[in-house]
Chain A
Amino acid sequence: MRRLLFLLPLLLVAVLAVWIGWLLLSGRDPQALPSALIDKPLPPFTLAALPGRSDGVASTDFGGKPMLLNVFASWCVPCLAEHPVITKLGKEDGISVLAINYKDKPADALAWLKRNGDPYVRIGADADGRAAIDLGVYGVPETFVIDTAGRIRYRHPGPLTPDIVDREIRPLLAELAK
């Protein structure tokens, strides 16, 4: 019995090692922060269109059906990396993806969209980044899932990958569309 007690520290270290190993290997980003706005309505914002376009985006554009809100910028490299994933969601899955163009030069944003394709239903320019701060954005890209009532149901900080879309976003969108 006493002998077993001496094994206790070893056991504790083993448990700790398994736990840390699991955290490391799960592919979870330790810097990703949970959103403070989950299940809350979108904060009110109205953003003007990029020059030469007539859309713009406002918080009142959401609702009715589940939609995605993507925060992007032409200067952001991970945005380029996730762009094919967003494009597939918009063009192939037929999901309405609305966008906030974060702290960008309008001409750069338009050129970027021309070069890489424009899967967005509407785009609003957030030149000073205030709408993004109201949304709790702390880095681009970020993607939100907005439900039929215009509430934020999910937020992914960082680039979307096909894996995240399959595991988290598609199931959620399907559930919300019911």
Chain B
Amino acid sequence: MRLRPILAGLFLALALAAPAHAIEPQEQLADPALEHRARELGQELRCLVCQNQSIDDSNADLARDLRTIVRERLTAGDSDDQVLEFVTARYGDYVLLRPPFRTGTLILWFGPVVVLVAAIIALMLRRRRRALAEPAPLSPEESRRLARLLDEEKAP
């Protein structure tokens, strides 16, 4: 059984496989530089029909229309930011797969860091409190019990 080369070939093919795009040949721009920018932008924009894919990855009609619009704006000489603005003016921040940095999105950006730092501080405080806490002296009742236990151990 020469399974190993077959498997190696299969894994190599999988590793080399590029992510599938939904962009059709006739949509692409002739200018490779513009097309490259259009691809970069397409990865940033959410397909609103499927909601978890970028417009480049989606076969939805609306995604194709938005890809066309991105290319039209770029051809008309818009900057990348202007294109993103054009789309967010119509569909809101939700259309951006990377949420923008705003007062309303601060929790989104810093929430996890704040929770992590709070947890680390809490753990450190706990440790210090433990290290500092001297064991309380035994009460008379406890001393008697301890003596009794020790005696029992000696007895047999």
Residues of A within 8 A of B (CB): 31, 33-37, 43, 103, 128-130, 133-136, 138-139
Contacts and interface: CB of A to CB of B under 8 A. Distances in A.
A133 B87 CA distance: 9
Given A133-B66, A133-B69, A36 B89 contact: yes
23 contacts: A33-B91, A33-B92, A34-B94, A36-B90, A36-B91, A36-B92, A43-B90, A103-B61, A128-B65, A129-B62, A130-B65, A133-B62, A133-B65, A133-B66, A135-B90, A136-B91, A136-B92, A138-B48, A138-B49, A138-B62, A139-B48, A139-B49, A139-B62
Given A130-B65, A138-B49, 5 more contacts: A33-B94, A133-B65, A134-B90, A138-B91, A139-B48
B90 A129 contact: no
Contacts of A103: 61
Contact of A129 (B51, B65, B93): B65
Interface residues of B, number: 15
A36 B100 CA distance: 15
Contacts of A134: 90
Nearest to B90: A136
A36 B84 CA distance: 14
Contacts of B79: none
Interface string B85-127: 0001111111000000000000000000000000000000000
Nearest to B89: A36
A136 B89 CA distance: 8
B125 to A, nearest CB: 14
B74 to A, nearest CB: 16
Interface of B: 48-49, 51, 61-62, 65-66, 69, 88-94
B85 to A, nearest CB: 11
B104 to A, nearest CB: 12
Contacts of B89: 36
Contact of B92 (A34, A130, A135): A34
Which interface residue of B61, B62, B66, B90 has the most chain A CB atoms within 10 A? B90
Contacts of A33: 48, 91-92, 94
A138 B90 CA distance: 10
A120 B56 CA distance: 36
Nearest to B69: A133
A36 B90 CA distance: 6
Nearest to B66: A133
A136 B66 CA distance: 11
A132 B121 CA distance: 52
B27 to A, nearest CB: 14
Contacts of A139: 48-49, 62
A136 B48 CA distance: 10
Contacts of B65: 128-130, 133
Contacts of A136: 90-92
Which interface residue of B49, B65, B66, B93 has the most chain A CB atoms within 10 A? B65
A85 to B, nearest CB: 23
